[in-house]
A = this chain, B = another copy of it.
Amino acid sequence: MKIIKMLHQRHVLIFLLLLGYYTTALSQSGYGLWLDYKKVSNAAILSQYQKQIQSVYFPGESETLDRAREELELGLNTLLGTRVNFSSTDSNKASLTVAKFDDLTPKTQKKFGKIEIASQGYYIGHDDGNIIITAKEDIGILYGVFNFIRLLQTEQPLENLALLDAPKIDLRILNHWDNLDGTIERGYAGKSLWKWQKLPTYIDQRYIDYARANASVGINGTVLTNVNANAWVLTPSYIEKVAALADTFRPYGIKVYLTARFSAPIEIGGLSTADPLDPKVQQWWKTKVEHIYSKIPDFGGFLVKANSEGQPGPQNYGRTHVDGANMMADALAPHHGVVLWRAFVYSEHDATDRAKQAYAEFVPMDGKFKENVILQVKNGAIDFQPREPFHPIFGAMPKTALAMEFQITQEYLGFSTHLVFLPKLYQEVLQADTYQQGKGSLVAKVIDGSLDNHSISAISGVSNIGSDLNWTGHPFAQANWYGYGRLAWDPYLDSATIAEEWLRSTYSNCENFVAPMTRLLITSREAVVNYMTPLGLHHIMDTDHHYGPGPWVSELPRPEWNPTYYHKADASGIGFDRTKQGSDAISQYADPVAKKFGQLDQVPDKLLLWFHHLPWDYKLSNGHTLWNSIGLHYQKGVDQVREMQKVWAQMTPYVEPLDHKQVSMLLNIQLQEAIWWKDACMSYFHEHSKLPFPKGMEKPKHSLKYYKSLKHPYAPGI
């Protein structure tokens, strides 16, 4: 800190930092995310970059352009290790020009005139050896800058750049399940980032760094509050606090949204009803929304969980989801706000397969929602399991804008302790073919609006971000935030590409690191499926906290909360029959899909027990019996974690010691828990199958009684 007064330089300080081999965790905390720019390590590439980028012409003024300029200056100075000159007036000497199309020279404008840059998009190209980053809007410039920095971070060549890019989905949103008391439902990385008591006056630096990180991957919306909502956030004093966050995020192109508790007119409005058809209720919401927009002119809108898991909703008044959503939509429409209405509903009064209920409830409503209503659908019909088939609603409501809801926080996938690269899961869903408009009707096309020609499109990811020093608890969980953002920008990206980008930006460009670690990331998702819920098993975790295995749980009051409801293991076999002979959930899919899932010779092994109840001695195509296959999949999951440990052990040359140790310890827990899953589940299933554990499967270490006795009342995230 004394440095500042010593050097008295306004913009750039250079100083020597001497590190002992034992240091504080500061430089290794992971706080910097994928934006912790370091000097390019490859000397040849560095020299090329330094030659290519010596001065920058960056005209224009706005809050967004200022942030873009600062980021580029920080990025270039650190990545190139030299001071790069910036000018906002002199374009002549520039080797890099960053300017909106209107601010380019007439000559360059003419050259680039035919390039159609889409909304929020940018173009990076060359003009006489000068690199040009251009866009129509300020936010396009910011996105272009972040993407250009990524090119340098990942040591890409700058020759022949002709990169035209724009987001394929309009609203790319994080959902924070953050409560007003600072706790986070299903949060495993500390407390909520939002320090409500200190808002609106105190703007935490983290808000700014959060916005930078989001903007760097193109996320442009954030729902600040839990879907299990609290009306209090809609009171004037909280709206003032929300406005302060909105002001902070705005330069980064990020809009704030809130969850709207359906009963708010009663709880904070003094009304006796929240009936959406009651004019007083409609007026209350209209006035409330007007107040919000008076403080936050670009407020995004409301996310609503209604009549689901105890949340209030229109059905409390004998009304429908359409009634509820449209009422809010009417209040928001004059201000261009949207309603994200969640389709995650199931009822304790409905005896049909839980997997069928959301489809049954919502598909008949197709076409009845107002234009600014987006129906937000979880990727699968149950609940963010390690693997689910895509939700049958996708493609089945062509007249309704459908948002994808992915879960980034690992509620069912090992909290912030297990290394699981989720973009692989997201890709599997996005690439699934609904066949609703014939072959090629990918879920991605439903989401981006191209399949059904929607004017608005959206995607949500339930955040894994908290106050932990490294934001996400597990250093590798940062990759899931990053990867969600990248897929929200372009749902057709390959997850391996994303993995590689993130690894290079965060750790090292060395091939001996990037190649094996990309494989590790890509494999990690199948590993967690194997050691938790192989072959289509699902929802067999322990109750409430969802920590660890609990296939034996059968006594919860609502049948569909019990794991036994989902695996249906008995002496005869295991699995949920969702064929015509069973719950017939398959009929909710388009014919080719239903046929594939319904027929034993076509259904993929990985979804086998999701759709079929089969005898223990059923023979899989791999030649093993079902019983043996289950055991061998659990074993494979455990072995895959061991393999991850081996690979990681080789990575010491590329990762700082404390960072390396941290991940090693977490992998140790992951292995312990993978074995726990295998042993507990196989012990339990063995009670039913009575069959010997397959050869090649390590026998459970303890008795079933022991596994059942384990209790974790203070597991995080509840």
Q: Taking beta carbons and an 8 Å cutoff, which residues of A are in contact with B? A: 1-6, 10-29, 31-32, 35-36, 38-39, 41, 70-71, 73-74, 77-78, 81, 83, 180-183, 188, 190-191, 196-198, 201-203, 205-206, 208-209, 212, 232, 415, 417, 467-469, 507-510, 547, 653-659, 662, 665-666, 668-669, 672, 712-716, 718
Contacts and interface: CB of A to CB of B under 8 A. Distances in A.
A672 B198 CA distance: 11
Contacts of A24: 31-32, 35-36, 209, 212
Contacts of A26: 26-27, 29, 31-32, 36
Nearest to A657: B4
Given A31-B26, A38-B1, A191-B190, A78 B202 contact: no
Contacts of A78: 18, 20
A365 to B, nearest CB: 35
Q: Which of A415, A469, A509, A713 has the most CB of B within 10 A?
A: A469
Contact of A510 (B5, B180, B197): B5
B31 A201 contact: no
A16 B81 contact: yes
Nearest to A658: B205
A511 to B, nearest CB: 12
Nearest to A83: B18
Contact of A2 (B77, B198, B510, B716): B510
Contacts of A657: 4
Contacts of A22: 70-71, 73-74
15 contacts: A1-B508, A2-B38, A3-B41, A13-B21, A15-B19, A25-B31, A26-B26, A26-B32, A180-B714, A182-B714, A190-B467, A202-B666, A202-B668, A232-B713, A467-B467
Contacts of A83: 18
Contact of A12 (B21, B196, B654): B21
Contact of A196 (B182, B714, B718): B714
Given A1-B508, A41-B6, A714-B181, A198 B417 contact: yes
Nearest to A237: B710
B713 A654 contact: no
A74 B20 contact: yes
A42 to B, nearest CB: 9
Given A31-B26, A74-B20, A654-B2, A201 B669 contact: yes
A2 B45 CA distance: 14
* Most-contacted residue by chain B among A74, A77, A202, A507 (CB, 10 A): A202
A285 to B, nearest CB: 22
Contacts of A16: 14, 16, 39, 81
Nearest to A205: B25
A507 to B, nearest CB: 6
A221 B41 CA distance: 45
Contacts of A212: 24
A665 B201 contact: yes
A654 B1 CA distance: 7
Interface centre among A4, A11, A715 (most CB of B within 10 A): A4
Contact of A1 (B70, B197, B655, B714): B655
Nearest to A656: B1
A653 B6 CA distance: 9
A261 B208 CA distance: 43
B656 A20 contact: no
Contacts of A31: 24-26, 29, 469
- When A and B form their complex, which 8 residue pairs have the shortest distance between CB atoms, in order from nearest? A2-B41, A20-B74, A25-B205, A180-B714, A22-B70, A202-B665, A11-B21, A5-B653
A79 to B, nearest CB: 9
Contacts of A14: 16-19
A187 to B, nearest CB: 10
A653 B78 CA distance: 25
Contacts of A13: 19, 21
A232 B715 CA distance: 12
Given A31-B25, A32-B26, A669 B205 contact: no
A23 B74 contact: yes
A18 B201 contact: no
Given A180-B714, A201-B669, A507 B467 contact: no
Contacts of A181: 714, 716, 718
A357 B27 CA distance: 51
A25 B467 contact: no
A659 B1 contact: yes
A463 B254 CA distance: 37
A209 to B, nearest CB: 6
Contacts of A38: 1-3
B714 A415 contact: no
A509 B2 CA distance: 8
B73 A20 contact: yes
Nearest to A73: B20
A29 B19 CA distance: 18
Contacts of A713: 232
A415 B197 contact: yes
B18 A669 contact: no
Most buried by B among A15, A81, A206, A212: A15
A229 to B, nearest CB: 13
A335 to B, nearest CB: 27
A192 to B, nearest CB: 10
Given A1-B656, A17-B17, A20-B73, 16 more contacts: A1-B38, A4-B656, A5-B510, A14-B16, A14-B17, A18-B78, A25-B206, A25-B208, A29-B31, A31-B469, A180-B714, A181-B714, A182-B714, A190-B191, A197-B716, A198-B669
A75 to B, nearest CB: 9
A49 to B, nearest CB: 14
Contact of A205 (B19, B81, B655, B662): B662
Nearest to A665: B202
A92 to B, nearest CB: 24
A418 to B, nearest CB: 11
Contacts of A662: 202, 205
Which of A70, A198, A718 has the most chain B CB atoms inside 10 A of its CB?
A198
A655 to B, nearest CB: 6
Given A25-B31, A232-B713, A12 B20 contact: yes
